[in-house]
Structure 1
Amino acid sequence: MKLHTRTWGDGDRTALLIHGMMADHRTWRRVAPALADRGYRVIAVDLRGHGASGRGEYSPRLFADDVVETLPTGADLALGHSLGGLTLSLAVDRLKPKRAVFSDPAWYLASAEGFGPEVFARFKALASKERVREMNPRWDEVDVEIELETLAAWDDATASSLAELSTSDLLPAAPVVPSLVQIADPSFLISPERATLLRQRGFEVRPVPGAGHTIHRDDFEAFMASLEGWI
């Protein structure tokens, strides 16, 4: 499936951005312009079932197939958050970016107690400005508004694609290209033991102290600082 995309900048380098569950390209409202200012042409997708992209069947591998069909190969940088990190890891051997960044990636959910596909649908049903603000006290008000807009544009049936992650561990065996894993601190997806395993497998791992799962919206400055040397 060809995905809806948004582009910022016209630099000589290319960066690809892949959002997480319930979001779309609007989640990168600060990251994309910052990368454009550094000389990148930045392309962000809306995954299937999100934003302005089409609907259909949902699985991690279908998400990956879509980004491969939509995005250019050989980009200088590819960055995926949460579901986007999982998607990138399943597509990286075909996208062939020079560097990859996985931001608190969703490779396994069995260790995240009480966290499953039904949680997302329930969150959408109960979402309000006050609830989103309460759950994300560090977000700018514009990010609260964007969260509500992207929730309204999101097909909650996509959450069924996460069921596989409750029984299957998709932690990569090795990086396909030089790869950074950013992790929230604490992270409910990447435990200290799994962070150690990732380092042993050849990934660079950088915690972002105090940041929640959506690092780029919780602490934008720290998010960008943790990318130094990779962008």
Structure 2
Amino acid sequence: MRVLSGINRGPDLAVRVASAADRAAGLPPVLLVHGMGGDHTTWRRLEGTLTGAGREVIAVDLRGHGRSGRADRYRLNDFRDDLAAVLDALDVPAVDAVGHSLGAHSVLRLAMAQPERVRRAVVEEPPPMPRDAADLAEAITPTSTLRERVRGLGVLLADPRPFLRFDRSMPEVVGLQFEQADPAWWEGLRAVAAPTLVISGGDRSFLPPRHLRSLAQALPDGEFVTIEAGHSVHREAPAAFVESVVGHLSRPR
């Protein structure tokens, strides 16, 4: 792991860069962004597949997660700006990007603000901003259901470090931001230039698939797929997830 200090006037950010032995010519690195409560280690299987296929991988620990420092604030745009600052610090002009949950939402915000920096994107279970009172009434926030917590218990027992390092003041702060209607966020999706695959975990997830389908339809070049696995598709259905990601990222721009 490499720790980047003093970037974006925020906390230290931990980054793992994995290079391929035979790097594929003409393709940018792949940026991997975990969900809330996780860290870069959640991507081990995908990272190995990507580097084996000749892709350089940049896996970030978001602020308040893993080996990155805790912060005095956790605004949604802070996570976005941290990703941009990491790419600046590594002198990487553009990436393919894969994100899960909060990380997927952050990838979308980066692609909205700096569309030239994201060539292709895969967003797994990205929580959308509420559009109106009807969305707010559903109380959809990027937290986990009891079922998801039980499924994650095995992962926690196998490696408790991500949980122990996680700033547990964050979920409430982040959750409150998803309790504000933000139709402008949906309008902003029109700025995303990257062909984007939206992966839903299906009816086993707390995020209703219809909202993620709407998100894919709102993107200029969005594609929607369902893998019935719950919120953590990459963990519960790794083979199908990796196949979808590699297939999408291997297409020409």
Instruction: Give the alignment's TM-score, normalised by structure 1.
Output: 0.81
Deviation at 1:9, TM superposition (A): 2.5
Q: Do the aligned residues in 1 keep the contact of 2:34 with 2:103 (CA within 8 Å)?
A: yes
Counterparts in 2 of 1:197 and 1:18: CA distance versus 1, 3 Å: closer
Aligned partner of residue 123 in structure 2, secondary structure? strand
Q: What residue in structure 2 maps to residue 96 of structure 1?
A: 117
State which of 22, 40, 50 in structure 2 corresponds to 1:35: 50
Moved more, 59-68 or 3-12: 3-12
Q: What residue in structure 2 maps to residue 7 of structure 1?
A: 17
Question: Structure 1 residue 222 and structure 2 residue 240: aligned?
Answer: yes
Determine the C-alpha separation between the residues in 2 that align with 1:113 and 1:147.
Answer: 33
- Tell me which of the two structures has the higher relative contact order, counting C-alpha pairs closer than 8 angstroms and 6 or more residues apart: 1
Question: Structure 1 residue 84 and structure 2 residue 81: aligned?
Answer: no
Deviation at 1:221, TM superposition (A): 0.4
Letter in 1 for 2:166: W
Which stretches in structure 2 are left out of the alignment for 5+ residues?
A: 1-9
Deviations 1:114-150 (A, max 9, x none): 6658x67x99xxxxxxx98x7218x9x5x34456321
Q: Do the aligned residues in 1 keep the contact of 2:128 with 2:212 (CA within 8 Å)?
A: no
Q: Do the aligned residues in 2 keep the contact of 1:99 with 1:177 (CA within 8 Å)?
A: yes
Instruction: Give the alignment's TM-score, normalised by structure 2.
Output: 0.74
Letter in 2 for 1:212: G
Aligned partner of residue 84 in structure 1, secondary structure? helix
Q: What residue in structure 2 maps to residue 75 of structure 1?
A: 94
1:154-193 pair list within 5 angstroms:
154-159=166-171, 160-169=173-182, 170-171=185-186, 173-174=189-190, 175-186=192-203, 187-192=205-210
1:98-113 pair list within 5 angstroms:
98-108=119-129
Counterparts in 2 of 1:196 and 1:3: CA distance versus 1, 3 Å: same
Q: Do the aligned residues in 1 keep the contact of 2:33 with 2:104 (CA within 8 Å)?
A: yes
**What RMSD over aligned residues (CA atoms) do the two structures have, in Å?**
2.9
Letter in 2 for 1:68: A
Which stretches in structure 1 are left out of the alignment for 5+ residues?
A: 124-130
Q: Do the aligned residues in 2 keep the contact of 1:112 with 1:188 (CA within 8 Å)?
A: no
Determine the C-alpha separation between the residues in 2 that align with 1:206 and 1:76.
Answer: 22
Q: Percent identity?
A: 30
- How many pairs are equivalent? 217
Deviations 1:69-112 (A, max 9, x none): 01254434111110001111111243612111111102237569
